[in-house]
Amino acid sequence: WATEAEKVVGWAKNHYLSSCLHPSVKGDQLHVPRESLELAILRLKEQEIATKNPSQNLKNLAKDEYETNFVSAVVPPGEIGVKFDDVGALEDVKKALTELVILPMQRPELFSHGNLLRPCKGILLIGPPGTGKTLIAKALATEAGANFIGITGSTLTSKWFGDAEKLMRALFSFACKLAPAIIFIDEVDSLLGARGGSFEHEATRRMRNEFMAAWDGLRSKDSQRILILGATNRPFDLDDAVIRRLPRRIYVDLPDAENRLKILKIFLARENLESGFSFDQLANATEGYSGSDLKNRPVQELLEEEIKGHRLDEIAVLRPLNLDDFVHSKAKVGPSVAYNAASMNELRKWNDQYGEGGNRRKSPFGF
């Protein structure tokens, strides 16, 4: 009961401080109005109902068939199953997202005054494939205690004329009911690419325009704790208007040796390794590998036994893995992205110009 009372008091304080410019303070005590307390109690009841039957509760929140379309895309924070500790490396990215997302969602009263302290409404994760952009997005929702809404192009398209615009509006209206919420758009360039191309369909253009109009309406409501989080490895294909609405662009690069060591220790924590396994040597030997590439491990011994005709009717127990197994596997499973590939060079150039840590160099005019 003490924990629930603390939740109610905290939510009531957050609502009151975020909804008024001059809070009533007498001495050292903050006088919270009845309205804020009632809203906090209502939120506690809704949370209890959601815990008992989350899917049914989401269906009850949806007001029409368009909002119901997003029920399956919602993952409550307690069901995501990924935390920051499960993400190897990316310490700088975690720190930046903690300041930009987690703190404003958990302590909105600190960001309720002035214009410079308004919470960020749009963040773009850029980087080569397999570096953990989707994983960090899910972990962020867990750490922030926010509902995770995963969106793809198929979720927002329809064969019926005009339905795409209605789906766009329903997405944001449904997210407002689930706040705090993170709307995650993976491969955002495929959904919100540059407009005006010769092959662009009118329905696609109308859908993108409606999405950005609804997005602007969301940004004007600072009390709603909703974040648009996009991820892409082709930011140079995004529309300029989308880039403007994603003011914080964080680069998720290929891991260096130190970070590969952290990733390998997480991936191999439950594996049967020989004693004295050299993680450092393996981390140094996998330069250029992404986190996704490092997941692969050899199972050739089991397959060879089957080919020889030794039927394994029972569960096979492999011998402990040693460093040579991974060295042989490395020869067969190479890195998915070449460091000097044209796409990587273009990605670094874009980050240098528009990203979080870029030096904003501009090419001089010339002939």
Query: Beta partners for 147?
Result: 181
Q: Are 330 and 286 in contact (CB under 8 A)?
A: yes
What confidence score (pLDDT) does residue 50 get? 54
Please state the rounded mean pLDDT for residues 153-169: 74
343 or 56: which carries more pLDDT confidence?
Answer: 343
Tokens linked to 307: 């080919």
Please state the rounded mean pLDDT for residues 290-317: 56
Please state the rounded mean pLDDT for residues 161-165: 74
What confidence score (pLDDT) does residue 305 get? 47
Tokens linked to 325: 């197994």
Q: What is the DSSP string of 176-218?
A: HHH-SEEEEEETHHHHSB-S--TT--HHHHHHHHHHHHHHHHH
CATH architecture of 54-251: 3-Layer(aba) Sandwich (3.40)
Q: How far apart are CA 43 and CA 45, in angstroms?
A: 5
Q: Strand runs (DSSP E) across the chain, as ranges?
A: 25-26, 29-30, 74-75, 122-126, 147-151, 181-186, 226-232, 248-251
Give the residue carrying structure tokens 């220790």: 265
8 or 51: which carries more pLDDT confidence?
Answer: 8
Q: How far apart are CA 264 and CA 243, in angstroms?
A: 34
Percent pLDDT > 90 in the chain is 7
What confidence score (pLDDT) does residue 146 get? 87
| Total residue length of the chain | 367
pLDDT category at 260 given cuts 50, 70, 90 is confident
Please state the rounded mean pLDDT for residues 207-211: 83
282 or 162: which carries more pLDDT confidence?
Answer: 282
Q: Are 124 and 186 in contact (CB under 8 A)?
A: no
What CATH topology corresponds to 257-332?
Helicase, Ruva Protein; domain 3 (1.10.8)
Q: Are 235 and 347 in contact (CB under 8 A)?
A: yes
Residue 303 in this model has a pLDDT that exceeds 60: no
20-49: pLDDT as tens digits = 666 676 666 777 788 888 888 887 776 665
pLDDT category at 318 given cuts 50, 70, 90 is low
pLDDT category at 367 given cuts 50, 70, 90 is very low
Q: Where are the domains of the chain?
A: 1-52, 54-251, 257-332
Please state the rounded mean pLDDT for residues 7-24: 71
pTM (predicted TM-score): 0.73
Q: Are 169 and 212 in contact (CB under 8 A)?
A: no
Residue 344 in this model has a pLDDT that exceeds 50: yes
Kind and range of the H or E run holding 3: helix 2-19
Q: How far apart are CA 99 and CA 103, in angstroms?
A: 6
Q: Are 263 and 255 in contact (CB under 8 A)?
A: yes
Please state the rounded mean pLDDT for residues 280-304: 70
Residue 295 in this model has a pLDDT that exceeds 70: no
Average pLDDT, the chain: 77
Q: How far apart are CA 108 and CA 223, in angstroms?
A: 8
Residue 166 in this model has a pLDDT that exceeds 70: yes
Q: Are 12 and 40 in contact (CB under 8 A)?
A: yes
What confidence score (pLDDT) does residue 48 get? 64
12 or 123: which carries more pLDDT confidence?
Answer: 123
Maximum pairwise Cα distance, the chain? 83
64-114: pLDDT as tens digits = 888 888 888 888 888 888 888 888 778 889 999 988 888 887 777 777 666
